[in-house]
Amino acid sequence: MADEAKAKGNAAFAAGNFTDAVSHFTEAINLSPANHVLYSNRSAAYASLNKFSEALSDAEKTVELKPDWSKGYSRLGAAHMGLHSYNDAVSAYKKGLEIDPNNEPLKSGLADAEAALARSSRSRAGPGADLFGEAFGPEMWVKLANDPTTRGFLQQPDFVKMLQDIQKNPNNLNLYLSDQRMMQALGVLLNVKIQTRGAEEDAKMTEASSRGSPERKRPAASEAYPVKEEKRPEPEPEPMDLSEEEREKKDKKAQAQKEKEAGNAAYKKKDFETAIQHYTKAIELDDEDISFLTNRAAVYLEMGKYEDCIKDCDKAVERGRELRSDYKMVARALTRKGTALVKVAKCSKDYEPAIETFHKALTEHRNPDTLKKLNDAEKAKKELEQQEYFDPKIADEEREKGNQYFKEQNYPEAVKHYTESLRRNPKDPKAYSNRAACYTKLGALPEGLKDAEKCIELDPTFAKGYTRKGAVQFFMKEYEKALETYQEGLKHDPRNPELLDGVRRCVEQINKATRGDLSPEELKERQAKAMQDPEIQNILKDPVMQQVLVDLQENPKAAQDHAKNPLVMNKIQKLARCYLARLKAKPEARTERQGEMLFGSAQSKGQGALFLARALSRAKKNNSIRGLIPFTYIEAKYQ
């Protein structure tokens, strides 16, 4: 309880609340009346309140309880100085220096006491000298700083030097009386109103400045003597005394930090044994910093001593929660433990403890590195489960069961068995192909397309993958894409009847649109489908392609150049195949059918795209293109 009250007193003193500090120290003294440190601290608090009699009483009690403690004599000297008992102050400081000859506060205090004693002696030399000696005593700085008319002077080094000279020898005051600043300061120190012309004007300027008046008759003193502005540091309160136990604890903490730094240096050099020794020493010196434990855990992790790493991390988490350490520190310990558990899981085949630990770490503090480690652990767990579940023999059995249900047209049950087959063997293209067929039958076309593409990815030479994908695209009425899929499959199996039939059906649908055999509803539907294709949208918006279409209609020479560019002609043919134009023969072809035959012949010779391009450009010229060529007959001359 006494330590708690003392801590509150120290905090109040540090905050400048000296009255509260006195109250807390008094409470502590009542609980522990033989503690000399408490009397010393209360003496300092009383001195800060200018209650020097009470400060002297506590200082004497401090010396009585602990005669060999130099700090007590420092308090005693300060109290005598406040009471102007300079002889007693000198005596107190000298006694303290006998105990601790190198104590700087005692040396400084003795010098001040001797200077004050000398001034006091000189003040008795003649009438009036005592008055000026007292005026320029230690309290001089406070008085001048508190008065608004002299506060600015203390920021001027030459003026401060004058005051210091007068403190050492009051007789030198006559040397500076011609300085208006000194006269102003003297009036403040003697509490006498000394009116001078400069002082009156300075006062007026100060008053005007406080009102924010723009009128300035005479520059302020700080401007009359231009010097570099320097703030005089305010005196800091004397630091609180620490008990032997507190001082020892502080020293141990400092030593522990040095051990940690040495451990870090050894760790960087891969000298792990030395690093462990330093971290262990740091832990022994200071058990309130869990970073020592997490650092040692990192060394154990590098050495492959995962059990020791996990133990240190557990200790760090437990101790961190006891001390209410930063969440980041606790999270770091948990992350390090999780990393060690991942290493262990490679042998134990159990990633669950590591995953659970990473989740706990993220609960304490969400860190990107921890999140990545969690994702990696979950991925490793999934791969391990797949490896353990992998069995090609059972996969084949499940696929055969799926085939049987497919023949019975029980497609949902077939999907279940194909899915189980893929769990047993994720690299089987046949299972993907068969499940794609089931999805197609069930009308789940996006799922069927996905399985067909996976089938092709696993085995690009497997014709069934292309027939499955083409069938899905055909049912989705993406005939152009389906045709490309079937043609790609024919590269691997040129005589495959399903692929050939697929090509035939796609061409038939494309030509059906070209001949105008589609109903308006079907045309509108295909038009909408075509415009959903990003490639088509880009072609129609491309300024270069728009110019190409114009050239094909109006500039025959440029048209011939464009016809030689396969990229341009492929884009044009893409537009035509996607039902964005239809052709109708002019009288040169006796019938529409004949015109189609002539166009087909030209197409086989590689000239069909040019004819279509001319038709497209003519449509554009007739203002029938508004982002999309309408589905109307466009007269085109077949050559």
The reply to whether 272 falls in a domain is yes
Looking up tokens 């910093």 gives: 289
The reply to whether 237 falls in a domain is no
Same domain, 40 and 58: yes
Same domain, 304 and 271: yes
Please, which pLDDT band fits residue 420 given cuts at 50, 70 and 90? very high
Same domain, 457 and 537: no
* Listed residues 383, 405, 432: the one ending a domain: 383
Is it the case that residue 592 has pLDDT exceeding 80? no
Is it the case that residue 232 has pLDDT exceeding 50? no
Same domain, 408 and 374: no
Is it the case that residue 583 has pLDDT exceeding 50? no
Domain CATH code at residue 490: 1.25.40.10
* Listed residues 188, 209, 230: the one ending a domain: 209
The reply to whether 441 falls in a domain is yes
- How confident is the model over 342-355, as a mean pLDDT? 90
Same domain, 256 and 365: yes
The reply to whether 45 falls in a domain is yes
The reply to whether 231 falls in a domain is no
The reply to whether 158 falls in a domain is yes
Q: Average pLDDT of the chain?
A: 79
Same domain, 376 and 251: yes
The pLDDT tens digits of the residues spanning 502-556 come to: 999 988 887 776 666 667 777 677 767 777 778 877 887 888 888 887 776 677 7
CA 468, CA 485: separation in Å to the nearest integer?
10
The total number of structural domains in the chain stands at 5
Q: Do residues 581 and 632 make contact, with C-beta atoms less than 8 angstroms apart?
A: no
Same domain, 325 and 401: no
Report strand pairing: 633-636 vs 582-585. parallel
Looking up tokens 């025959």 gives: 556
Q: Do residues 330 and 317 make contact, with C-beta atoms less than 8 angstroms apart?
A: yes
Please, which pLDDT band fits residue 278 given cuts at 50, 70 and 90? very high
Same domain, 341 and 446: no
Which range is most confident: 12-21, 339-348, 580-589, 598-607?
339-348
Q: What is the pLDDT of residue 560?
A: 73
* Listed residues 472, 487, 515: the one ending a domain: 515
Same domain, 192 and 295: no
Same domain, 591 and 489: no
Q: Find the domain containing 13 and state its range.
A: 2-123
Is it the case that residue 470 has pLDDT exceeding 90? yes
Please, which pLDDT band fits residue 369 given cuts at 50, 70 and 90? very high
Is it the case that residue 609 has pLDDT exceeding 70? no
Same domain, 397 and 356: no
Same domain, 133 and 50: no
The reply to whether 482 falls in a domain is yes
Which range is most confident: 12-21, 249-258, 562-571?
249-258
How many Cα atoms sit within 13 Å of 566 on the Cβ side?
Answer: 1
Instruction: Using the Cα atoms of residue 415, residue 417, residue 419 and residue 422 in order, give the sign of their dihedral.
Output: negative
Instruction: Using the Cα atoms of residue 63, residue 56, residue 22 and residue 252 in order, give the sign of their dihedral.
Output: negative
The reply to whether 291 falls in a domain is yes
Q: Give the percent of the chain with pLDDT over 90.
A: 40
Please, which pLDDT band fits residue 578 given cuts at 50, 70 and 90? low
Please, which pLDDT band fits residue 210 given cuts at 50, 70 and 90? very low
Query: Which are the contacts of 593, defined by CB distance < 8 A and separation ≥ 6?
Result: none
